[in-house]
Amino acid sequence: MATIYPFRAWRYNPSAVRLDDVVTQPYDKISPAMQQAYYQRSPYNLVRIILGLPELFDAERGETVYSRAARDFRAWREQGVLVQEKDPCIFAYAQRFTVPGTDIVKERRGFIALGKLHDYAEQVVFRHEYTLSKPKSDRLNLLKATHAHFGQIFMLYSDPAGSVEKILYDGAGPAEAEVTDEYGVLHRIWRVSDPAAIRLLTSAMADKKLIIADGHHRYETALNYSKEHAPAAVASAEHSTSQLPQPAYPEAAVMMTFVNMDSDGLVILPTHRVVHSLEGFDPTAFARAAEEFFTVEALPATDTSAYIRKLGAQQGTAFVAVTRTGALLLRSKPEAAAAALAGLPEHQRKLDLSHLHTIVLDRLLGLDAEKVREQTNIRYLRDAAEAVDQVQRGEANITFLTNPVTMEQLREVAFAGSVMPQKSTDFFPKLLSGMTIYALE
């Protein structure tokens, strides 16, 4: 089952930089505007390593974003901007936030450690979505150049009693470091270096199975890299009781944040679908075709928040479709939907997004799996108002507002060894990159 390790993390030196100026959102959540803002914030902002601006590099001299990232990472360590922990540690990591669209305040508690890499076939680590080759190639190039992991894979484990959190947080004093991000989320970490506490934690996690919440591309990249660097004869990772566990070789593990999937602090947001560039799209014809599979109800013209409230009040599978002529509430007809989804396993037939992708996108709009995978005619947006605005501005044909996937659905699909449609989950908040860094050498 899950094997975790403490590690000697590299961290930003508080006497050299302000943490607020140098940490970032995960690389795939950084917009061009955020990228520019991070660059301006500090010459040591992590964006310069994890998502460098190509136009700043001298291609004629053979420089790339990856070679420059490696150069900066090496220089920052030599200059003391980054310093390494003296002892192997695990880090308690808490995030306090307001749930978007509400006034509800929650705290998500977890911990940062190394986690052993496993093939999915071993049934220790489970995925819930497919990956694409382009992002994995990009992350592999960065890993090869820097020999380091700068962000954590977001992992879920089940612990209804909350015993793991008790080990980490009972009696915890003031946080050692904290930062508030651009979304108003307060991130705090505590160093855990006591060998007895670390052993308790590794024992408590030893019977856990893990689900990847965020970071599928980086996990698979790290796994492939690990296989490439496995020594011919792997030394045992077992040690005497006086020593802390460590990976059999550095590449055999990756940095992870572990969060209890049974805790109240776990929030999944919906990701809405915006469909664009369809030739000859006719809203009236679409509504008529949808009636074969859905009860179609025209909604009064109002604001996006009203559409979301209406959608959230529905029982069963439903979405709101917004076109230039107005908004429609689509509620699945059970018998028609069951026939259309007969080729899917039962746990997938329960998902709203399976109905949306299989029936609406593919059957009604002609967007097959390849077009969806390559995002030929589809965009994914967290912001419902922006998704609707794109239709109203003429930048899209139709937007589909969706309800979020539940944790129970995610657990069922992942542990069945299956996957959801692309961009099914949006865990909020994201894990900051740069809080800790795992260097392989």
Phi-psi region of 62 (alpha: psi -120 to 50; beta: other; left: phi over 0): left
Cα separation, 175 vs 380, whole angstroms? 36
Residues 142 and 251 in one domain: yes
343 burial level (CB within 10 Å; 0-12, 13-18, 19+): exposed
Contact criterion met (CB below 8 Å) for 161 and 154: no
* 140 and 203 belong to one structural domain: yes
Distance between start and end Cα atoms, the chain:
27
Range of the domain at 341: 271-403
| Per-residue pLDDT in tens (0 to 9) along the chain, 441 residues | 899 999 999 999 999 999 999 999 999 999 999 999 999 999 999 999 999 988 777 776 778 999 999 999 999 999 999 999 999 999 999 999 999 989 999 999 999 999 999 999 999 999 998 887 788 999 999 999 999 999 999 999 999 999 999 999 998 899 999 999 999 999 999 999 999 999 999 999 999 999 999 999 999 999 999 999 999 766 554 443 448 999 999 999 999 999 999 999 999 999 999 999 999 999 999 999 999 999 999 999 888 999 999 999 999 999 999 999 999 999 999 999 999 999 899 889 999 999 999 999 999 999 988 888 778 899 999 999 999 999 999 999 999 999 999 999 999 999 999 999 888 899 999 999 999 999 998
CB distance 95 to 26 below 8 Å: no
Tell whether 150 is covered by a domain: yes
Q: What is the pLDDT of residue 199?
A: 96
Total domains in the chain come to 2
Q: Is 343 found in the same domain as 201? A: no
Helix (H, G, I), strand (E, B) or coil at 404: coil
Task: Judge if 313 and 187 occupy the same domain.
Answer: no
Q: Check: CB of residue 388 under 8 Å from CB of residue 399.
A: yes
CATH of the domain at 374: 3.30.1760
**Is 412 a member of any domain?**
no
Residue 84 lies in a domain: yes
- Regarding whether 294 and 242 lie in a shared domain, the answer is no
| Alpha-carbon gap, residue 31 to 50, rounded angstroms | 13
181 in Cβ contact with 140 (< 8 Å):
no
**204 plus 350 within the same structural domain:** no
Are the C-beta atoms of 330 and 312 separated by less than 8 Å?
A: no
Q: Is residue 415 part of a domain?
A: no
Q: Which helix (H) or strand (E) holds 253?
A: strand 253-260
Token pair belonging to 97: 């936030």
Q: Is residue 411 part of a domain?
A: no
φ/ψ of 106, rounded to 5, equals -130, 165
Question: Are 304 and 434 contained in the same domain?
Answer: no
DSSP structure string for 73-110: HHHHHHHTSEEE-SS-BEEEEEEEEEPTTS--EEEEEE
Measured CA to CA in angstroms, residue 115 lies from 7, 143, 266, 301 at distances of: 10, 17, 20, 50
Task: Tell if the pTM clears 0.85, that is, is over it.
Answer: yes
Whether the CB-CB separation of 147 and 10 falls below 8 Å is answered with: no
Q: Are residues 181 and 34 in the same domain?
A: yes
d(CA 113, CA 210): 14
- List residues bridging with 116 in a β-sheet: 253
Do 166 and 243 have their domain in common? yes
- DSSP tag of 213: E
What is the C-alpha separation between 170 and 200, in angstroms, rounded?
13
232 lies in the same domain as 277: no
412 three-state secondary structure: helix
CA 387 – CA 73 distance, rounded (Å):
38
